Amino acid sequence: MARILLALIGLGAVAHAATVEVRLTDPLGDPLPVRVHVRDSEDNPWPAGVDSTLLSHGAMGGYFYTDGPFLMNIPSGPTRIVAGHGFEWDPLDTTVPIEGDTVLTFALSPRFDLRQEGWFGCDIHTHANHAPFDYPPLTPEQVYHVARCEDLALIWCLDNDYEFIGAPDPVSDPMTLVYFTTEYRHMAMGHVALLGLKELIGDMAGWDSCSVYPLLSMTHAEWSPGPDEAMILVHPQTGAGFFQDSGWPGNGLGRELPVMVALGHLEALALADYSNDPDVFLEDWYGLLGCGFCVPPAAGTDAVLPGYYARPPGGYRVYALEGEGVAHNARDWVKALRAGRSFVTNCPLIPHFSVEGADLGDTLHLPGTRAIVNVSFSIRSVLPLQQATIISNGEPAASLPLGGGAFGCVIDTTLRVPVPQSTWLALRVDGQTSCPHVVASELFAHTAPVYVHVDSIPPSRPEEIQHFLTWIGWLELYADMRGFWESDEIRAEVMQMFDDAREVFNCCFRIPPDPFELQTPPDGSVVSAFAPISFDWSRAIDPEEYDIVTYVLEIAGDSAFADPMLTLPTPISQYLLDEPPGESERTYWWRVRAEDQGHNVTWGTPGSFSFFLSEDMAEVDSHTPPIRAFRAWPNPSSGRVWFQLAAPLARSARVEILDVLGRCIAASDRSASLIRSPDGERLFWDGRDHAGAPVTSGCYWVRPGRARPRPFLIVR
């Protein structure tokens, strides 16, 4: 009886299944290579797992690739079929009531043809031979098949020496190029795509060295790429903390970015990548443009083609303008990308953007009397869009609602935009969609900028410059923390490159700090040879916002400072000298200079003070003794830090936590996160600022009472 029941159940299941043949074609009825998503009547993906014939994947609700026709066995009932061929063809999104065996034919249509206008879309970052492996490494023929389905004009597979020939693979055709090249992985400084590589360089398996040497900038300088080659920093922001580098995402973070840009060792920056956090990350790119650098945008996916749960290649791509009437080739494509004739997108298209006739990547020179410019642009999209925004120096300058019409978007218009100072202008497009053909619900596109120089001066945003100067300071600290220097000469070479990059950023600071006054110890005073000496002076204000002043205290045995005994830098206007500067029972002189980031110097007034170092406590001038040494534990810390003092701290003494810029971010009289023990000998800080927000990884300083601030590290 049990056997009969099971047989009946089996017959019922077969009776409710249907064999469906699907044919996807172009308007002429020819088979069309496409990416397909199928959800059956029970809301399950088809196929349900790994299928090497269809190269099925489980991401985005499930998808697979076909040259046009495919056959499936699915339950009867409403079945959703989504199929797409890149961003220039209308995607198919339909629900079909399956009642039995049937044949379904759908014709997809091209809405736009950017190839005819000289634009070619590319994914700069994919992998055909990369774990996790749910399929064997893809052959060039399989990569070509996937690229055709995604309507990619060029796909770069970054698999080191796998299938590398230093040119487009022979499977390529004029519409679809496949190029196997290298992802050069520096596990401390960042990962880069080497586009157009003709010969393998270095160790293509990746850098697992404990040291930061050699920097990516050094590799770029040694490679010296030609005009049709490029080094592009991929997934520059992985979500890792700056000092977090044990495994992914820390060993993929693009830490070297400001150095590469400042020294001219980067051809483009990937704004979009599945390994970015978030996928689209613009903040650092905006910042570099605001510093006056020309940085072309790029985009890729880091799609692992053999991985079942990977999202598809081409989900984010970069279009580059090779020019109308030219034969598409990898050399001209890379040249166009390097020139900044590009836009990045996950569906919307921006085939035109110009400012007063200056095209993408160009520099427009304006006289200081010109305050408004005409910005013209074109937008094309097969899906609805909501907003177009002209970005100036990282901020919205003008916007145009796009209505979000059901049939996509076609816009050709001109807007007038104010330009009160040197800037860069670009177009951003945004929208929302529920179409599974797109890899994100947020539709996005962004052009490369047009650089606008008023009176021949490039943009210069001090707040952005300061951000990258701080970043370079973190790099120096990080490099020494990582250590493992093979020699002092190698360390000096790395630090010199950091210094060279800093000088490029520093050049915008031109005005010296304002005058300031020496205070303690006053001129002619007597100080003890057996107690720390507290040196104080008034703060030197720098008139340039975001410039930073560093003080240098000099102590000498003669009033001419012919040979200073001590030269002591400090970020704040005081210094606690724990040990006497020299022999007692003699006179010393001290002075202070304030130096900004542009190396502009202002000396304190008067020029110097003298003090007598005495062993007789009766002669010492009366003053409140400062707090002596202390230590932080643990150091580095993940955020919670104990400070052990050498002497009790008075209840009324203020305790401050300072960042590397000398700014107070937490204080005992205004932050609940900074507390002291009842005996005054210990302090505790939970790693939060005045507002209660956790601080980021970096170097911080603690200053209890009048003590000299001491550094410690936060590594999250």
Enumerate residues 6+ apart whose C-beta is below 8 A from 386.
401, 402, 403, 404, 430, 431, 432
- Answer whether 245's CB lies under 8 Å from 482's CB: yes
What span, in angstroms and rounded, lies between the C-alpha atoms of 545 and 676?
35
Per-residue pLDDT reduced to its tens digit, 442-470? 999 999 999 999 999 899 898 899 899 98
CA angle 28, 31, 33 (to 5 degrees): 120
What span, in angstroms and rounded, lies between the C-alpha atoms of 342 and 352?
10
Would the pLDDT of 548 be above 80? yes
Per-residue pLDDT reduced to its tens digit, 270-288? 999 999 999 999 999 999 9
Per-residue pLDDT reduced to its tens digit, 160-219? 999 999 999 999 999 999 999 999 999 999 999 999 999 998 654 444 556 899 999 999
> In a 3-state reduction of DSSP, which class is residue 401?
strand
Average pLDDT over residues 595-618: 90
What span, in angstroms and rounded, lies between the C-alpha atoms of 250 and 263?
24
All CATH 3.20.20 domain ranges of the chain, comma separated, are 114-344+461-502
Would the pLDDT of 357 be above 80? yes
The phi-psi region of residue 470 (left if phi > 0; otherwise alpha if psi is between -120 and 50; otherwise beta) is: alpha
What is the second-level CATH architecture of the domain 518-619? Sandwich (2.60)
Average pLDDT over residues 89-105: 96
Per-residue pLDDT reduced to its tens digit, 7-28? 223 333 443 799 999 999 999 9
> In a 3-state reduction of DSSP, which class is residue 149?
helix
What span, in angstroms and rounded, lies between the C-alpha atoms of 338 and 555?
52
Placement of tokens 């929208």 in the chain: 431
Placement of tokens 């053909």 in the chain: 437
Enumerate residues 6+ apart whose C-beta is below 8 A from 667.
654, 655, 656, 657, 674, 690
Fold held by 346-460: Immunoglobulin-like (2.60.40)
- Between 90-99, 335-344, 481-490, 683-692, the lowest mean confidence (pLDDT) is in 683-692
Backbone angles phi, psi at 461, to 5 degrees: -100, 110
pLDDT of residue 627: 40
All CATH 2.60.40.10 domain ranges of the chain, comma separated, are 346-460, 518-619
Which residues in 536-565 are b (16+ Cβ under 10 Å) and which e?
bbebbebebebbbbbbbbbbbbeeebeebe
Per-residue pLDDT reduced to its tens digit, 653-693? 788 888 877 788 888 877 777 877 776 677 888 888 888 88
What span, in angstroms and rounded, lies between the C-alpha atoms of 474 and 698?
7
- pLDDT category, 702, cuts 50, 70, 90? confident
Average pLDDT over residues 586-604: 95
E strand intervals along 251-394:
268-272, 297-299, 303-304, 317-321, 342-345, 349-355, 358-359, 363-366, 372-381, 387-392
Give percent of the chain with pLDDT exceeding 90: 71
E strand intervals along 433-473:
442-447, 450-454
- Answer whether 313's CB lies under 8 Å from 146's CB: yes
Domain 16-107 coded CATH 2.60.40.2190? yes
Considering only the top CATH level, what class is 114-344+461-502? Answer: alpha beta
Sign of CA dihedral 114, 116, 119, 122: positive
CATH code of the domain made up of 630-714: 2.60.40
